[in-house]
């Protein structure tokens, strides 16, 4: 009698992944004068990802195999300005970007989602203060920043309302 063998294991899944990544980062600090410094930086990246997901429900059923191949390359910048008020107080402003490579969704059986999703970029803007007071006995650091993350990509295993958040904006401050 053909069919699926009996089992106490109702779900089996796994993945095999290969990831190759190359990146180069450089930063240049240029002192315009004794008070003002400019910071210029960039990160170039190249990512190749191969993943194969498999799913069996129940565990003795034939496996559903889902291949996922993705690649991405690009450059993200860093720009900064630093104002040295004196030897103990420095004000700064920075803009930078970060990225996260795309990947593959773990679809179950019917392909209700795209097999792959694209990279996303995070933009960060920050202003702050770094200082020491009372002959170095007190250190005060403070910053205010905003991170904007558009078209956020989230790996999901099936259509579930509320999981995908396309745009995120965080506004924060810290004081130490």
Q: Where are the domains of the chain?
A: 29-44+76-175
Write b or e for each residue in 106-117: b if 16 or more Cβ atoms lie within 10 A of its Cβ, otherwise e. Answer: bbbeeeebebbb
Residue 156 has pLDDT above 60, yes or no: no
Of residues 40 and 50, the one with the higher pLDDT is 40
Confidence of residue 4 (pLDDT cuts 50, 70, 90): low
Output the pTM of the full model: 0.72
The mean per-residue pLDDT over the stretch 18-28 comes to 93
CA distances from 107 to 55, 66, 78, 112, 116 (A): 9, 8, 37, 7, 10
The arithmetic mean of pLDDT across residues 17-21, rounded, is 87
């Amino acid at each position: 009698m053909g069919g699926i063998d009996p089992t106490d294991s109702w779900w089996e899944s796994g993945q095999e992944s290969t990831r190759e990544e190359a990146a180069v980062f450089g930063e240049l600090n240029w002192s315009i004068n004794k008070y003002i410094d400019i910071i210029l930086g960039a990160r170039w990246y190249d990512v190749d990802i191969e993943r194969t997901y498999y799913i069996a429900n129940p565990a003795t059923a034939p496996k559903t195999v889902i291949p996922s191949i993705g690649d991405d390359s690009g450059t993200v910048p860093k720009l900064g300005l630093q104002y040295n008020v004196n030897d103990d107080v420095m004000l700064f402003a920075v803009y930078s970007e970060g990225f996260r490579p795309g990947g593959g969704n773990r679809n179950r059986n019917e392909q209700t989602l795209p097999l792959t999703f694209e990279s996303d970029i995070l933009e960060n803007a920050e202003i702050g203060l770094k200082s020491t007071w009372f002959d170095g006995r007190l250190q005060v650091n403070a910053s205010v920043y905003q991170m904007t993350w558009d078209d956020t990509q989230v790996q999901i295993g099936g259509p579930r309302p509320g999981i995908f958040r396309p745009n995120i904006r965080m506004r924060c401050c810290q004081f130490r």
